[in-house]
């Protein structure tokens, strides 16, 4: 089984909060996989507004960035990372109109060499991926309704993860399965056993001592 990745999620609504969270992750030194997920929100696709791409670029680090675009115009937001090679994966909501998604794929492939992934809200069926299943380099299954950190994991998500892992395997897709939202040391093992390749974790890593929190999650996964 390929190695499980734990990717810290930064959901920040102010530059100060963003700085504090990125410094917390850097201070850990334990995220050897080198990825962080940055949540960007436009207040339209989700009822929350995040820091801007400018703030992300201003406080650059040595991490690889998975940019989670919870926005109605993903191309506008992604194009602001054109000169920022650390943005190595963009996640767009599969719920967006095909026109927006097609335009995004076409342009991102020209502007960057970043991977493209699709996020699925809890209510969105996996069948929505059909048109893009050979484009997807990551499928991010949301364990919560996007927009806010600290929510409880929706139990029905486990079945969707199993379904996604089965689809990837049966179609021999070169695609990672990620799970994002409500993941903690109590459910992490179930999420991985359901077929996830990587876990995106916010509050249960960043609230309190990050190394202690990470240790609890690895203990749950390896126990
Ligand atoms: C939710 C975000 C998630 C969230 C994860 O809209 O996409 O990345 O920040 O935070 P927790 O792990 O606290 O649910």
Nearest-angstrom CA–CA distance, 25 and 185: 18
Residue with the larger pLDDT of the pair 163 and 223: 163
Q: What is the 3-state secondary structure (H, E, C) of 167-186?
A: HHHHCCCCCEEEEECCCCCC
pLDDT reported for residue 1: 46
Q: What is the 3-state secondary structure (H, E, C) of the chain?
A: CCCCEEEEEECCCCHHHHHHHHHHHHHHCCCCCCEEEEEEEECCCCCCECCCHHHHHHCCCCCEEEEEEECCCHHHHHHCCCCCCCEEEEEEECCCCHHHHHHHHHHHHHHCCCEEEEEECCCCCHHHHHHHCCCCCEEEEECCCCCCCCCCCCCCHHHHHHHHHHHHHHCCCCCEEEEECCCCCCCHHHHHHCCCCEEEECHHHHCCCHHHHHHHHHHHHHC
**Residue holding tokens 């991926």?**
129
Q: What are phi and psi of 94, to 5 degrees?
A: -65, -15
Tell me, using a 6 A CB cutoff, whether residue 9 lines ligand 1. Answer: yes
Q: Among 7, 196, 200, which residue has the most ligand 1 atoms within 8 Å of its CB, making it the best to mutate?
A: 200
Atom of ligand 1 nearest to the CA of 184: 12
Residue with the larger pLDDT of the pair 1 and 191: 191
Percent of the chain clearing pLDDT 90 (strictly above): 96
Q: Among 6, 118, 119, 151, which residue has the most ligand 1 atoms within 8 Å of its CB, making it the best to mutate?
A: 151
CA-nearest residue for atom 1, ligand 1, is 146
Residue 42 among the catalytic residues? no
Nearest-angstrom CA–CA distance, 220 and 170: 28
The answer on pLDDT for 143 being more than 80 is yes
Angle between the 210-222 and 15-28 helix axes, to the nearest 10 degrees?
A: 60
pLDDT digits (tens, 9 = 90+) for 57-107: 999 999 999 999 999 999 999 999 999 999 999 999 999 999 999 999 999
Around 213, how many Cα atoms within 13 Å sit in the side-chain half-sphere? 19
Tell me, using a 6 A CB cutoff, whether residue 202 lines ligand 1. Answer: yes
Tell me, using a 6 A CB cutoff, whether residue 147 lines ligand 1. Answer: yes
pLDDT reported for residue 2: 62
Cα(126) to centroid(ligand 1), Å: 20
Residue 38 token pair:
């940055």
Task: Classify residue 114 by its DSSP letter.
Answer: -
pLDDT reported for residue 160: 98
Cα distances from 146 to residues 25, 112, 142, in angstroms, run 22, 26, 7
Residue 180 among the catalytic residues? yes
User: What's the rounded mean pLDDT across residues 153-181?
Assistant: 97
Percent of the chain clearing pLDDT 70 (strictly above): 99
What average pLDDT is seen over the chain?
96
Cα(93) to centroid(ligand 1), Å: 14
Tell me, using a 6 A CB cutoff, whether residue 180 lines ligand 1. Answer: yes
pTM: 0.97
User: How many CB atoms lie under 10 A from the CB of residue 32?
Assistant: 7
Tell me, using a 6 A CB cutoff, whether residue 206 lines ligand 1. Answer: no
Tell me, using a 6 A CB cutoff, whether residue 143 lines ligand 1. Answer: no
pLDDT digits (tens, 9 = 90+) for 180-202: 999 999 999 999 999 999 999 99
């Amino acid at each position: 089984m390929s190695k499980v990745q734990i990717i810290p999620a930064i959901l920040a609504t102010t530059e100060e909060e963003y700085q504090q969270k990125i410094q917390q992750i850097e201070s850990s030194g334990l995220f050897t996989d080198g990825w962080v997920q940055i949540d960007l929100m436009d207040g339209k696709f989700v009822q929350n507004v995040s820091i801007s791409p400018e703030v992300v670029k201003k406080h650059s680090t040595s991490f690889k960035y998975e940019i989670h675009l919870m926005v109605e115009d993903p191309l506008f937001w992604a194009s602001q990372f054109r000169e920022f090679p650390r943005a190595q994966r963009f996640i767009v909501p599969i719920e967006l109109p095909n026109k927006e998604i097609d335009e995004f794929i076409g342009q991102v492939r020209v502007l960057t060499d970043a991977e493209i992934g699709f996020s699925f809200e809890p209510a969105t069926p996996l069948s929505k991926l059909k048109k893009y299943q050979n484009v997807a380099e990551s499928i991010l299954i949301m364990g919560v309704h996007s927009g806010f950190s600290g929510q409880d994991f929706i139990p029905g998500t486990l079945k969707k993860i199993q379904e996604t892992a089965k689809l990837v395997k049966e179609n021999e897709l070169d695609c990672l399965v990620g799970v994002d939202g409500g993941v903690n040391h109590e459910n992490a093992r179930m999420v991985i056993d359901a077929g996830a390749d990587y876990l995106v974790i916010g509050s249960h890593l960043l609230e309190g001592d990050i190394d202690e929190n990470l240790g609890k999650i690895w203990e749950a996964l390896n126990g």
